[in-house]
Amino acid sequence: MSEAENCTHDCETCSAACDQREKAPADFMEKPSQFSSIKKVFAVVSGKGGVGKSLVTSLLAIALNKKGYHTGILDADITGPSIPKIFGLKEKAQGSAMGVMPVVTKRGIEVISVNLLLENETDPVVWRGPIIAGTVKQFWTDVVWNDIDYMLVDLPPGTGDVPLTVFQSIPVNGILIVASPQELVSLIVSKAVKMANMMNVPIIGLVENMSYFKCPHCGKETKIFGESHIREIADEFSLPVLARIPISPELSEACDLGTLEDISAPFMDGAASALEKIPEKEKD
Ligand code: ADP
């Protein structure tokens, strides 16, 4: 298909390099608050829900925090936010004259999530797409992100409104794709790769979650969700494999109790080192 045929006639959502474009994609970039300082931004994506995207985002934030970096998490999964629970955050985000202040975890990771703003965290978010996308933009523009070295954006699954808004309005340095072994044989990963290419955002690599279960008694590894195809997929798209995370009752229990920061789960340390090698974007 030619670029003109790809055109959706709405420059705000269209990725075609069409000569009738009224605004360059870069024009949709939003500036963070004047009180914020954010060096690098990485988005964590998955094809569908429940594959452990929020767990991977949290483990990566913990790994970066342990390396001494000031790390933030922007929970863009507005209708299914799970970051506050993983870190056991109970207090609400407060406003100040400068803007909204993120809530800080026990070890100093700064978090913003719709659950930190809702009066009652069990209230469902029943909002239309543009309101949800607008909220995510405000998490970038109206929150005071204090001296952040690494900002991780936990995106909702799929390739809908919110990922599009994030890639158009936030200067994302790269994407990490999380998938389970089952997903790695489907078209889901190719869709995420194609979206990243359309949005011109580099993919840093793949993370396979729930890869295997290691028996605590005999040490035998069982591939509960089938054989891994991560190597084939990584080769097909020339992407590095950043981590393979086992199914671990310790991980799910820590997520449920809000104690993930307290356990030793160094699965994302290699991925954290990969992010260190990505240069900062030029600021205008
Ligand atoms: P997503 O963000 O993709 O919807 P979550 O990170 O919220 O998924 O994970 C979904 C559920 O699966 C959570 O209860 C989490 O604790 C559990 N989970 C994810 N990965 C693992 C794992 N490797 N071992 C054990 N439980 C896991």
Ligand 1 geometric centre to CA of 50 (Å): 6
Q: Which of 46, 54, 55, 260 to mutate to test the pocket of ligand 1 (most atoms within 8 A of CB)?
A: 55
* Residue-level pLDDT at 281: 82
- Best CA proximity match to 278, nearest among 64, 32, 36, 37: 64
- Stated pTM of the model: 0.90
- Does residue 149 sit within a domain? yes
- At 21 the pLDDT is 60
Core vs surface per residue 171-192: b (16+ CB within 10 A) or e: bbbbbbbbbbbebbeeebbeeb
Query: Picking from 21-30, 129-138, 219-228, which range would have the lowest pLDDT averaged per residue?
Result: 21-30
224 within some domain: yes
Does 67 map to a domain? yes
- Which of 1-15, 127-141, 228-242 is modeled with the greatest confidence? 127-141
Q: How confident is the model at residue 25 (pLDDT cuts 50, 70, 90)?
A: low
Work out the average pLDDT over 199-217. 93
272 located within any domain: yes
Q: With a 6 A CB cut-off, is 252 part of the ligand 1 pocket?
A: yes
pLDDT score of 163 = 92
Does residue 24 lie in a domain region? no
pLDDT tier at 192 (50, 70, 90 boundaries)?
Answer: confident
Sorted by sequence, the CB contacts under 8 Å of residue 192 that are 6+ apart come out as 45, 46, 47, 159, 175, 177
Domain limits at 62?
31-276
Q: Is the pLDDT of residue 154 over 70?
A: yes
Question: What is the CATH number for 111?
Answer: 3.40.50.300
Q: Is residue 14 part of a domain?
A: no
**If you measure from the C-alpha of residue 82 to the centroid of ligand 1, how many angstroms do you get, rounded to a whole number?**
10
Output the CA 83–ligand 1 centroid distance in Å.
11
Cβ of residue 141 lying under 6 Å from some atom of ligand 1: no
Beta carbon of 83 within 6 Å of any ligand 1 atom = no
Report which protein residue has its CA nearest ligand 1's atom 13. Answer: 252
Q: What is the pLDDT of residue 18?
A: 65
210 CA from centroid of ligand 1 (Å): 9
Atom 20 in ligand 1: residue holding the nearest Cα: 52
Question: Residue 11 has what pLDDT?
Answer: 64
Is 251's C-beta closer than 6 angstroms to any atom of ligand 1? yes
Q: Which atom, in ligand 1's list, is nearest to the CA of 86?
A: 16
Q: Please work out whether the CB of residue 209 comes within 6 Å of at least one atom of ligand 1.
A: yes
230 lines ligand 1 (CB under 6 A): no
> Residue 53: CB within 6 Å of ligand 1?
yes
Residue 114 lies in a domain: yes
Q: Using most ligand atoms within 8 A of CB, pick from 58, 180, 252, 260 the residue to mutate for ligand 1.
A: 252
Task: Point out the ligand 1 atom lying closest to the alpha carbon of residue 245.
Answer: 23
- The pLDDT tens digits of the residues spanning 234-283 come to 888 899 999 999 999 999 999 999 999 999 999 999 999 999 999 998 76
List, as one string, the DSSP characters of the chain.
--HHHH--S-TTT-----TT-SS-GGGGPPPPPTT--EEEEEEEEESSTTSSHHHHHHHHHHHHHHTT--EEEEE--SSS--HHHHTT--SPPEE-SS-EEPEE-TTS-EEE-GGGTSSSTTS-----HHHHHHHHHHHHHTB---SEEEEEEEPPSSSSHHHHHHHHHS---EEEEEE-TTGGGSSHHHHHHHHHHHTT--EEEEEEES--EE-TTT--EE-TT-S--HHHHHHHTT--EEEEE---HHHHHHHHHT-GGGS--GGGHHHHHHHHTSPPPPP-
Total number of domains constituting the chain: 1
Ligand 1, atom 10, lies closest to the CA of 50
Is the model's pLDDT at 186 over the cut of 80?
no
Q: Which atom of ligand 1 is nearest to the CA of 80?
A: 4
Flag whether 85 is in a domain. yes
